[in-house]
Chain A
Amino acid sequence: MEGRGSAVNTPATSRPVTRRSKSYGRSCVEAPSYFWQTPGHLTVLKIPTSREAAKSQIITNKVDPEHIALLVKNEWKLSYVTPLYRFRHTELKSYSKHLSAFIIAERQQGVAVEVGLEAGFKVTFTSVLGLAETSEDAETVFIQIQSKPVFAAAADAPKVVWRGWLTCVNGDPEYLRALPPDFVSLPLFCTSGPESLTTLVKSWFERAFDCNFGSLALNSTTLNWLAALWTGCHPTCNIRYLKLAWSLPSQPPLDVSYTVNPQDAWELWNSIHPEESTDGRIDIKEVQSFMNGLETHFFRHFKIYLSAGKLVKVSTALGSAQLDGKIKIGNSDYITTLLTMLTECALLKMLT
């Protein structure tokens, strides 16, 4: 046993030693995708400390106005999605058929359903072209479920019961590039409609594209950013109001709703971040001092430290966002800024 000279097999010089061949997935310490695996401090996806100011763009020049109208109307509940395996934008028609068959089958457990038969539910998948900002972004997919009541008259139009869309706007290019071509990353999933249908749609996606969903709650920092970014838009587009809601951990809990005159808010913001001064980038410190300014003002009047509580909602005419992951898009011209931010939140949450 000992006679088996080990040095015969093991030269003392440094010869490359490889990790076992089939590393299941990728190691956390190798280059291409370590941000997927590693804890915060090693992550490539860092929480940005500065961003570009919100810029208005007439989105309807790029995207079909009808599609945009669909996104603007509703309040959306947010989720994150891991990359979709073998999702193809060319197969949307067949997905429509399968999802509707799936919903019917799930609704009547134990009864088989033929794929492609239209009964009860009609599902439509559409791609919303033009919302993607970079070449790495996959095109947004919009899903609509219409229901035909059993006893409806023939002339009755089917009613839309559920809407949802998967999107990726300005997703981290390094992350997207690192994914093998079999995967499509549309990390942000917005839904509107009954929870039961949302669950069904999610579980269909999970089975069809081997992906997973998790709920996406926003954090206060994101809300702070939105408050500042939206306020900064006031000169170009009237934000009408800046409404902020706090929840204070007192006994009983105290909810504070704080509405600021848009002009006042903008003047405060402008004093912190002069419009003409910088290269258009906004630093997180500026955002913080903006919020501090608002909080100090409130303290002066009501002697309540808002910083002791949690900012739970921000809304302006451009849109609104809540801590529990609900958003509304008020003005389509600023949609890109909002979606960029939410895509980033979804990716960060996914990779925690």
Chain B
Amino acid sequence: MADLSNLTGLVSEPSGEIDSSVSSASNRSLRLAEKEKRKAKADPFGLAVKYLSQVEAGTVVRGNDELERNLVVVETVALSKGLPPEVITVLLDMALSLNAGTVNCTRVLKFLIPATVVPQEAIVKGVSWLCVGKMPMNAQVLFVRWVLTVFDLIDCKDNLRSIYGFIFSFVTEENLCPFICHLLYLLTMREHVHPYRVRKLLDIQAKMGRQPFLTQLLALYKVFRPDLVTLSLPSRARTGFKNHSSTWKVALSAVQKKNKSAVSVDQSLTLDVKEKPSSRKRKLHHLAIPSLSSAFDSNSSKKVFRLQELQSFKELLENIHHIELPAQMGSLLGSALALHYLDCVQDESAFLRLNFWLGHSLQEEFLLCPVDGSSDNTSEACRFLSTVLFSQQFLQEGFSSTESFLYKFLRVWDGSLLRPQILDLLSDIPLMPSFYVHKLLFEPLKQLYFTSTVFFKCSVIECLNSMLVKWLTWHSVSASDGGLDISLNSNSTMTMTLSGFMDSVMELVHFVGLLASEGLRLENCHILLLNQSLAFYETVCDMFVKYSLPLIIMPPAGVFYPALFATDSISVDRLGYIMYRYRKNLTLAKKQEQQREKTPHISRNTYNEFNRNLQAMVNSMWNSWWCIPGSDLEIDKELIALSKVAEPWCRFDLIHHPALFSYAIEFHQRCWPERKDVDLGSIKTGKYWNWYMEFLFNQGFDGLKNFIQTNTGTAPH
């Protein structure tokens, strides 16, 4: 109070501003001039505050015009611009001491709008006035409500926390109790929770019944000390505190808006307690993700941070070394922040717990199939699987319990129940030895594949494609790690040699090759299936360059030829791209072999196979002849003659190919718009051919473009 003389300087703008502040900026110079003038005079606001700070106990209030006038000055400033911290301290002290009477106490509290922050000491002092016990009840309530409203603006809360016991003592006041509980809720730290406080609150609960404010505070106590108190919240319990800030809300937000203060106040002081799922009439809850809670026997002496308390990623980083795992590991899947933490957990038991829970849930729901009819509820199962999927994708790794569940489930799956989720989960299956892949995954999948619709077939190929990408990514990551065993726990790692890994990949690629070629045959080269298969080979053809895996596998004839002779241009273009990438991969492999003079790790056969395919493609599309010497694909000329197709060897060149035919026609029309009879052969002559190539490439056939350019030597290398 000694430095009240400074107050004038601290008030950022003199009080006369009120009216002019609304005026437009145009008369700025006028205002400046006025300001100068006013500064010369004494500052009325500063004087008023000074007057109010000197109000002594026993001052006559009724008819005290001077007091009234000064109050009005301060009130006007407060409501328009808010009060600086020092003034808050002074006024709060003046009001709560009741020096200016009870009426003025509530009046001052009502216009105590902070401009920036509220000094902690003001509140501490206020609480001490509360302890004096002179204030009437309505003033007490008003004060606590005011503290709640400005709580987020209090500059620092440590001293407030150290008088926790004093604040706690007011819970016995029936009228104050709801607000005190809220304040305590905001202040409580672990060290504040003691058995005697718990007992006190329980006594009050016994008297007042289940009041939301008590429940809320006790629930917080339970978070900190589950060994002292237990509580179960009904699923539709009213939670949170009522909004106590209505008195100041409008004024405060107006002032804050005007000041554009960096400190923001949370206007809705209600807690957002996560809403529990609505109570269902299900008997079995194995598909519910448990809520975060701590074990009751958690070590209470150690400094721990509980996941329930976690609000932000920053908090996670700050407390990462003393975070306590929840009582039920499954609850981690319910929170995105907790998943971040799960990613750093190294404790083997923790994952075992998670897997026990997950395995049990999946088994009870999908394998043991409860007979109470609850399994009809697929939306719930869908939600559950989606959560699991989300977690797995977040962690970029499948849980071993989902993996083993899938092996069992595949044997009983009808291929339609929750198909998208199940297939997504399948694609997360980690790498494993080829023997097991075959037995556990491919056998059952094959049966489903060949007995299902073409759309299911497409989904399966897509799923296996994404599985392959994940395996390859894993390999490239672990290979660039220098292949070190970075696992902390040796018995939780499966070691696999590179050749073992290649065997598994080979098994997968061959399996998809089989599925794709047989599927295409069965489904009459269905265009979607063809495209899914080609998408798979887009992954396969780049394994060497993109993923550093010395393994190149060519597509089987059952995929290659349907794509080559496809009636849609997209498939042909994709095939062109695939062949182009194969060439890149093989060239690189060869170069490395020559440089290092090592035994070739790509088999001769692969080169031969590639060359044969390349020859077939170039011959049919470019050279218009079919005969592939040494190829296993020989077509009897007489047989073709029976079809009575004229010039059969031209039918799949770049002009007559069914996929490109329409482009040739269009090109022809553009070149010779006046011609009535179409002679596509004329495209082949002279400059028209080059123009036609350019025309084709401009249609977006980048795959074909790359293919043709690299294989006809026109490509810039």
A17 touches which one: B293, B367, B400, B483 (CB < 8 A)?
B483
A214 to B346, CA, bound (A): 29
Contact, CB under 8 Å: A32 / B430: no
Q: Which residues of B contact A350 (CB under 8 A)?
A: 360
Q: Which residues of B contact A9 (CB under 8 A)?
A: 479-480, 548
Q: Mark B490-509, 1 if CB is under 8 A from A, else 0.
A: 01111111111100000000
Within 8 A of B (CB), among A204-235: 206-208, 210-212, 214
A37 to B411, CA, bound (A): 15
A183 to B475, CA, bound (A): 34
> B368 contacts the other chain (Cβ, under 8 Å)?
yes
Within 8 A of A (CB), among B452-493: 474-475, 478-480, 483, 485-488, 491-493
For the complex formed, measure the closest distance between the CB of A5 and the CB atoms of chain B, giving whole angstroms: 6
Contact, CB under 8 Å: A10 / B479: yes
Contacts A210-B327, A352-B363, A352-B367 given; does A19 touch B493 at CB 8 Å: yes
Contact, CB under 8 Å: A115 / B237: no
Contact, CB under 8 Å: A20 / B367: no
Q: Which residues of B contact A2 (CB under 8 A)?
A: 545, 584, 588
A1 to B411, CA, bound (A): 43
Q: Which residues of B contact A10 (CB under 8 A)?
A: 479, 498, 548-550
Contact, CB under 8 Å: B346 / A22: yes
For the complex formed, measure the closest distance between the CB of A117 and the CB atoms of chain B, giving whole angstroms: 8
The winner among B353, B399, B588 for most chain A CB atoms within 10 A is B353
Contacts A26-B400, A82-B360, A212-B361 given; does A111 touch B480 at CB 8 Å: no
| Stretch in A56-64, A67-75, A94-102, A336-344 touching the partner | A94-102
> A279 contacts the other chain (Cβ, under 8 Å)?
no
- For A, the interface residue count at a CB cutoff of 8 angstroms equals 64
Q: Mark A1-38, 1 if CB is under 8 A from B, else 0.
A: 11001110111111111111111111111111000111
B494 touches which one: A25, A27, A106, A180 (CB < 8 A)?
A27
A115 to B492, CA, bound (A): 39
A25 touches which one: B399, B411, B433, B480 (CB < 8 A)?
B399
> B440 contacts the other chain (Cβ, under 8 Å)?
yes
> B688 contacts the other chain (Cβ, under 8 Å)?
no
Contact, CB under 8 Å: A86 / B295: yes
For the complex formed, measure the closest distance between the CB of A299 and the CB atoms of chain B, giving whole angstroms: 31
B233 touches which one: A91, A110, A214 (CB < 8 A)?
A110
B497 touches which one: A15, A23, A101 (CB < 8 A)?
A15
Which A-chain residue is minimally distant from B595 (CB atoms)?
A5
Which A-chain residue is minimally distant from B484 (CB atoms)?
A18
Contact, CB under 8 Å: A38 / B480: no
Contact, CB under 8 Å: A23 / B202: no
> A85 contacts the other chain (Cβ, under 8 Å)?
yes
Q: Which residues of A contact B544 (CB under 8 A)?
A: 6
For the complex formed, measure the closest distance between the CB of B712 and the CB atoms of chain A, giving whole angstroms: 21
Contacts A23-B397, A24-B354, A24-B397 given; does A112 touch B328 at CB 8 Å: no
Q: Mark B593-615, 1 if CB is under 8 A from A, else 0.
A: 00010110100000000000000
Number of A-B contacts (CB under 8 A): 250
For the complex formed, measure the closest distance between the CB of A43 and the CB atoms of chain B, giving whole angstroms: 11
Contact, CB under 8 Å: A16 / B397: no
For the complex formed, measure the closest distance between the CB of B551 and the CB atoms of chain A, giving whole angstroms: 10
Contact, CB under 8 Å: A15 / B498: yes
Contact, CB under 8 Å: A25 / B430: no
Contact, CB under 8 Å: A112 / B354: no
Q: Mark B351-373, 1 if CB is under 8 A from A, else 0.
A: 11111110111011001100000
Contact, CB under 8 Å: B357 / A212: yes
Q: Which residues of B contact A39 (CB under 8 A)?
A: 404, 407-408, 411, 440
Contact, CB under 8 Å: A207 / B346: no
A16 to B499, CA, bound (A): 9
A352 to B408, CA, bound (A): 9
Q: Mark A92-125, 1 if CB is under 8 A from B, else 0.
A: 0010001001100110111111110000000000
Q: Which residues of A contact B295 (CB under 8 A)?
A: 86, 208
Contact, CB under 8 Å: A26 / B368: no
Within 8 A of A (CB), among B120-158: none
Q: Which residues of A contact B229 (CB under 8 A)?
A: 112-115
Contact, CB under 8 Å: A28 / B237: no
| Stretch in B182-190, B210-218, B240-248 touching the partner | B210-218
Which A-chain residue is minimally distant from B398 (CB atoms)?
A24
Contacts A7-B592, A24-B354, A212-B356 given; does A17 touch B222 at CB 8 Å: no
Q: Which residues of A contact B345 (CB under 8 A)?
A: 22
Q: Which residues of B contact A214 (CB under 8 A)?
A: 286, 360, 363-364, 368
> A83 contacts the other chain (Cβ, under 8 Å)?
yes
For the complex formed, measure the closest distance between the CB of B211 and the CB atoms of chain A, giving whole angstroms: 9
B487 touches which one: A18, A101, A115 (CB < 8 A)?
A18
For the complex formed, measure the closest distance between the CB of B521 and the CB atoms of chain A, giving whole angstroms: 31
Q: Which residues of B contact A85 (CB under 8 A)?
A: 349, 353
A111 to B201, CA, bound (A): 11
A94 to B228, CA, bound (A): 11
Q: Which residues of A contact B228 (CB under 8 A)?
A: 114-115
Q: Which residues of B contact A182 (CB under 8 A)?
A: 349
> B205 contacts the other chain (Cβ, under 8 Å)?
yes
> B297 contacts the other chain (Cβ, under 8 Å)?
yes
Contacts A7-B550, A25-B401 given; does A98 touch B493 at CB 8 Å: no
A84 to B327, CA, bound (A): 11
Contacts A17-B501, A24-B395 given; does A112 touch B222 at CB 8 Å: yes
Q: Which residues of B contact A111 (CB under 8 A)?
A: 205, 210, 215, 231
B293 touches which one: A109, A114, A207, A211 (CB < 8 A)?
A207
> B324 contacts the other chain (Cβ, under 8 Å)?
no
Contact, CB under 8 Å: A32 / B357: no
A210 touches which one: B231, B328, B401, B501 (CB < 8 A)?
B328
Contact, CB under 8 Å: B395 / A12: no
Q: Which residues of B contact A22 (CB under 8 A)?
A: 343, 345-346, 351, 397, 487
Contact, CB under 8 Å: B403 / A17: no
Contact, CB under 8 Å: B230 / A26: no
A291 to B352, CA, bound (A): 41
> B431 contacts the other chain (Cβ, under 8 Å)?
yes
Contact, CB under 8 Å: B496 / A19: yes
For the complex formed, measure the closest distance between the CB of B196 and the CB atoms of chain A, giving whole angstroms: 11
Contact, CB under 8 Å: A16 / B230: no
Q: Mark B517-553, 1 if CB is under 8 A from A, else 0.
A: 0000000000000000000000000001101111000
> B445 contacts the other chain (Cβ, under 8 Å)?
no
> B691 contacts the other chain (Cβ, under 8 Å)?
no
For the complex formed, measure the closest distance between the CB of B181 and the CB atoms of chain A, giving whole angstroms: 12
> B199 contacts the other chain (Cβ, under 8 Å)?
yes
Contact, CB under 8 Å: A6 / B430: no
> B432 contacts the other chain (Cβ, under 8 Å)?
yes
Contact, CB under 8 Å: A91 / B352: no
Contacts A17-B483, A24-B395, A212-B361 given; does A6 touch B491 at CB 8 Å: no
Enumerate the 4 nearest inter-chain pairs by beta-carbon distance, A residue then B residue, closest first: A6-B548, A37-B404, A25-B355, A109-B234
Binding site for B on A (CB under 8 A): 1-2, 5-7, 9-32, 36-39, 82-83, 85-86, 91, 94, 98, 101-102, 105-106, 108-115, 180, 182-183, 206-208, 210-212, 214, 350, 352
29 contacts between A and B (CB under 8 A): A2-B584, A6-B545, A6-B550, A7-B596, A9-B480, A12-B550, A17-B475, A17-B498, A18-B494, A19-B494, A20-B474, A23-B493, A26-B355, A29-B433, A37-B404, A82-B357, A94-B297, A98-B296, A106-B232, A110-B231, A111-B215, A112-B201, A112-B202, A112-B218, A112-B219, A112-B229, A207-B293, A211-B356, A214-B364
Extra contacts besides A18-B483, A114-B229 (11): CB < 8 Å: A6-B588, A7-B548, A10-B498, A10-B550, A19-B494, A22-B487, A28-B404, A30-B492, A38-B404, A112-B201, A212-B357
